[in-house]
Amino acid sequence: MSNYTYMTISSKSPIFNKICDYCDKEIVQENLTINGGTLNYSGIIYDSDILIICFDKTLPVAFNSIVELDTCIYIYQIAVKNNYKRQGIGTELMQRAISIAKTKKKAITAHVRDYNEASNHLFQKLAFNAVEPGSNTLYVLETKKYKPGKK
Ligand SMILES: CC(C)(COP(=O)(O)OP(=O)(O)OC[C@H]1O[C@@H](n2cnc3c(N)ncnc32)[C@H](O)[C@@H]1OP(=O)(O)O)[C@@H](O)C(=O)NCCC(=O)NCCS
């Protein structure tokens, strides 16, 4: 069983900026280049509405930052610290985001760069549809139809 804990934090929380500082410095910085491409996402975490954080004891090791739009829940940035990858944390962070979208009766969307193999696989595994495939693919999941574990 995993020892990790997860917490959902609103941008209105008094600890939001402090958590953003830590995630930006310790997690985003490790993920600025992927397969030779650049994920130039430092700093955007501060503009999200909701953060889902994975903690190893007291330290954040991964986050999913979400923007709530009128039409959908948009995954702004998701990142896992290198030493914690491939343990199911990214999947758990996305399943929690999908639950939020379901509660709000909204679709959930994300953009993923073509060179970002891990992220493309993650969204495909979670049965997102690539509605605008290309160099920056738009993935959409209509949560009404989402059934965990099924494509
Ligand atoms: C994408 C990312 C969040 C996945 O996190 P993770 O915790 O490693 O993901 P999981 O362990 O839950 O893996 C889920 C699925 O993703 C896919 N995946 C993850 N890492 C992969 C890799 N290196 N290569 C290919 N597929 C990969 C697999 O389909 C995997 O399922 P499987 O283990 O059953 O094969 C992580 O690789 C990351 O932080 N990447 C850098 C930041 C980023 O690209 N963010 C997205 C753009 S905002």
Would you state the pLDDT for residue 23? 97
Residue 92 CA to residue 97 CA, distance in Å, equals: 9
- Residue 147's pLDDT is 63
**Ligand 1 centroid distance, CA of 62 (Å):** 12
Domain ranges within the chain, ordered by starting residue = 4-108
71/4 Cα distance (integer angstroms): 32
CA of 68 from ligand 1 middle (Å) equals 23
Q: What is the pLDDT of residues 4-60, one digit of tens each?
A: 999 999 999 999 999 999 999 999 999 999 998 988 888 999 999 999 999 999 999
Q: What is the mean pLDDT of the chain?
A: 94
Helices within 12-150 (DSSP H only): 16-23, 89-103, 117-125
CB 122 less than 6 A from any atom of ligand 1:
yes
**What top-level class would CATH report for the domain 4-108?**
alpha beta
What does residue 111 show for φ and ψ, rounded to 5 degrees? -105, 135
Residue 20 to residue 76: CA distance in whole angstroms: 13
The structure's pTM equals: 0.94
